[in-house]
Amino acid sequence: MDLVNHLNDRLLFAIPKKGRLYQKAIEILKGSDINFHRSQRLDIALSTNLPIALIFLPAADIPMFVGEGKCDLGITGIDQVREANIDVEALMDLKFGSCKLQVQVPANGPYTKPEELIGKTIVSSFTNLTRAYFAQLEGVPESQMSTRVKFVGGSVEASCALGIADAIVDLVESGETMRAAGLTDIATVLDTSAHLIQSKHPKGDLTLIKTIKSRIEGVLTAQRYVYCTYNAPKDRLSEILVVTPGRKAPTISNINDDGWVAVCAMIEKSKKGLVMDELKSKGATDIIVFDISNCRV
């Protein structure tokens, strides 16, 4: 099938084609019921249930495609958006791909503060952000800065050991790569995570964009919350409800026992242990927690 000829009447949605963001981005699409079949080695996939075409691109190229309006929506790291210095709308923090862009130096070397690197050589894949950071540190425009910034596309962490850099600016999540290369961090240039981004001048159907956004919000909410239900004695209800206020308010239903009601509320997954302990200690019984597979909020 000539896929390119099927793109005109579809909303183009840019997705990272590989790397750290790929798997989680695919999970978001699945959770949002955006079904598609991607043929091997093809970077375009037509959704089978919505007028959407998924365009698989390197994470670093997505800001440009969305910024220039070639794609209406995209998923990429906010680091890539800032590095590309392209004007797009950051619609939503997707809460994955979280890491820091950091200044790193040899752990047993002479540098302990970024100011000590002024006039030295820094290697990074994020040369624009690195230049901007050191120009600001020097207090001069980039055209006048003395710090040299060189580009390396990958394995940036090897640059100091190989003698091409005094320091690097690279992403750190667990810190394993940094420590394995004998480096330590001395400053943070940027905190980043994956975002849903939108063109400032979308060409596609605005209602569809709104629907996609609401579905993705639903996926994120379903990941963050669980559904909690329990029975509560009426005479302690007010103190028990404080524990599970719900997103809007808890649902309270009568049950076939005059002294009791059933309560349902969404609670934060990360707090469920504490919430269940507290409910029990205040007299609630039959406390059950369910995962939420999907929701709209």
Ligand X SMILES: O=P(O)(O)OC[C@H]1O[C@H](OP(=O)(O)OP(=O)(O)O)[C@H](O)[C@@H]1O
Ligand Y SMILES: Nc1ncnc2c1ncn2[C@@H]1O[C@H](COP(=O)(O)OP(=O)(O)OP(=O)(O)O)[C@@H](O)[C@H]1O
Interacting residue ranges for ligand X, rule: CB under 6 A: 19-20, 154-155, 157, 170-178
Identity of the residue, 125 or 244, whose beta carbon is nearer to ligand X in the bound complex: 125
Give the burial class of 223: count Cβ atoms within 10 A of its Cβ; 0-12 exposed, 13-18 middle, 19 or more buried: middle
Element (H, E) at 176: helix 176-180
Q: CB of residue 170 vs ligand Y: minimum separation in angstroms?
A: 9
The secondary structure of residue 47, as a DSSP letter, is B
Q: Measured between alpha carbons, how far apart are the two ends of the chain, in Å? A: 38
List 90's β-bridge partners, or say none: 197
Return the one option of ligand X, ligand Y, none that residue 83 interacts with (CB less than 5 to 8 A, by type): none
Return the one option of ligand X, ligand Y, none that residue 58 interacts with (CB less than 5 to 8 A, by type): ligand Y
Please, what is the Cα angle at 129 between 127 and 131, to 5 degrees? Answer: 65
Return the one option of ligand X, ligand Y, none that residue 18 interacts with (CB less than 5 to 8 A, by type): ligand Y
Residues near ligand Y (CB under 6 A) are 18-21, 58-59, 77, 79-80, 97, 99, 171, 173, 192
Q: Give Rg (Cα) of the chain.
A: 25
Name which of 268, 254, 108 is nearest 183 in CA terms. Answer: 108
List 99's β-bridge partners, or say none: 192
Return the one option of ligand X, ligand Y, none that residue 157 interacts with (CB less than 5 to 8 A, by type): ligand X
Identity of the residue, 145 or 187, whose beta carbon is nearer to ligand X in the bound complex: 187
Return the one option of ligand Y, ligand X, none that residue 170 interacts with (CB less than 5 to 8 A, by type): ligand X
CB atoms near residue 115 (< 10 Å) = 12
Identity of the residue, 47 or 80, whose beta carbon is nearer to ligand Y in the bound complex: 80
Name which of 229, 212, 293, 217 is nearest 267 in CA terms. Answer: 229
Q: CB of residue 58 vs ligand Y: minimum separation in angstroms?
A: 5
Identity of the residue, 126 or 225, whose beta carbon is nearer to ligand Y in the bound complex: 126
Q: CB of residue 159 vs ligand X: minimum separation in angstroms?
A: 11
**Backbone angles phi and psi of 64, in degrees to 5:** -70, -45
Q: CB of residue 176 vs ligand X: minimum separation in angstroms?
A: 4
Return the one option of ligand Y, ligand X, none that residue 21 interacts with (CB less than 5 to 8 A, by type): ligand Y
Q: CB of residue 219 vs ligand X: minimum separation in angstroms?
A: 24
Q: What is the DSSP string of 49-91?
A: SSSEEEEEE-GGGHHHHHHTTSSSEEEEEHHHHHHHT---EEE
Task: Measure CA 125 to chain center.
Answer: 20
Identity of the residue, 84 or 243, whose beta carbon is nearer to ligand Y in the bound complex: 84
Identity of the residue, 157 or 166, whose beta carbon is nearer to ligand Y in the bound complex: 157
Residue showing tokens 């901007």: 132
Identity of the residue, 64 or 267, whose beta carbon is nearer to ligand Y in the bound complex: 64
Return the one option of ligand Y, ligand X, none that residue 176 interacts with (CB less than 5 to 8 A, by type): ligand X
Q: CB of residue 185 vs ligand X: minimum separation in angstroms?
A: 10
Q: CB of residue 74 vs ligand Y: minimum separation in angstroms?
A: 13
